[in-house]
């Protein structure tokens, strides 16, 4: 079962968003409504190349509190995987990561969208996942190749991160495991139509594979396959692959 922790506004979009999640089997019991606030919204402009520019209005997402995490603590503690990103307050995210750590739940921090200053201890998560732009901001040097990404991953290790995965779009992904071994997983060649949800698909498949016993390079390959499927379709939620579609991409079907 997938459970989502968050907040919705009390606007017209709230019910639609909740229904969409529930229609896809997501437990929304930990997503209360916030009165007087709109639901979080993203306006996405997609170029012909499939790359995008996203304007985010946080809305109710900015109202998620540590108290909300306390209320959802049992759900986190009994999970196999906690996946968090940075569209909610950082202190709230850190609180969720601490609950996961205390209960030996594997956690992944997808540090996106990256704020000007990241206040979360990178080592609070079992794995840090960022794209090349986010990684470049964190290490303060440009990333143009897999070699640059590996250098950045080692720098992030020095900053406290335990495992690091840096996604590189058409160049695949680079990972640095907790034992210091590095890995490169090549991308799956697809015609990119809309990369909006490619990163989300990657992180979800990566995290799931790891808690199911995959090695880091195996999990990165599954992440690349999921991201490739998502990038080949329009939209965000509608582009996310099913498990069957993921397996077909991996099999080259």
Q: Provide the sign of the torsion angle of the four alpha carbons 252, 82, 131, 126, taken in this order.
A: negative
Residues with Cβ < 8 Å from 61, sequence gap 6 or more? 6, 7, 40, 87, 88
Residue 113, both tokens:
């969208």
Phi, psi of 46 (to 5 degrees): -110, 130
- Map tokens 């940075």 to a residue: 86
Q: Which of 11, 68, 194, 200 is catalytic?
A: 200
Beta carbons of 44 and 52 less than 8 angstroms apart? yes
Q: Is 10 a catalytic residue?
A: no
Residue 130 · residue 108 · CB < 8 Å: no
Residue 217 C-beta-side C-alpha neighbours within 13 Å: 6
Local structure of residue 63 (DSSP, 8 states)? G
Q: Cα dist. 16→12, 23, 28, 60 in Å?
A: 7, 10, 12, 15
Q: How far apart are CA 191 and CA 30, in angstroms?
A: 37
- Residues serving a catalytic function are 200
């Amino acid at each position: 079962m997938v459970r989502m922790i968050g907040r919705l506004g009390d606007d017209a979009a709230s019910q639609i968003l909740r229904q969409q999640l529930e229609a896809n089997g997501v437990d929304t019991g930990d997503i209360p409504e916030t009165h007087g606030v709109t639901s979080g919204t993203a306006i996405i402009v997609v170029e012909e190349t499939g790359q995008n520019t996203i304007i985010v209005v946080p809305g109710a997402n900015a109202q998620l509190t540590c108290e909300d995490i306390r209320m959802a603590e049992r759900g986190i503690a009994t999970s196999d995987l906690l996946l968090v990103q940075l569209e909610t307050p950082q202190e709230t995210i850190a609180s969720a990561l601490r609950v996961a750590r205390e209960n030996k739940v594997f956690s992944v921090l997808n540090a996106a969208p990256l704020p000007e200053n990241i206040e979360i201890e990178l080592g609070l998560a079992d794995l840090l996942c960022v794209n090349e732009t986010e990684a470049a901001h964190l290490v303060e040097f440009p990333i143009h190749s897999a070699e640059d990404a590996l250098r950045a991953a080692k720098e992030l290790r020095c900053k406290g991160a335990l495992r690091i995965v840096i996604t590189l779009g058409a160049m695949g992904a680079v990972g640095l495991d907790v034992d210091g071994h590095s890995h490169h997983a090549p991308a799956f060649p697809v015609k990119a139509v809309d990369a909006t949800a490619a990163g989300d698909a990657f992180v979800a498949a990566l995290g799931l594979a790891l808690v199911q016993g995959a090695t880091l390079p195996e999990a990165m390959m599954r992440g690349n396959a999921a991201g490739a499927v998502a990038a080949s379709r329009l939209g965000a939620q509608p582009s996310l692959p099913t498990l069957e579609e993921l397996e077909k991409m991996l099999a080259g079907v």
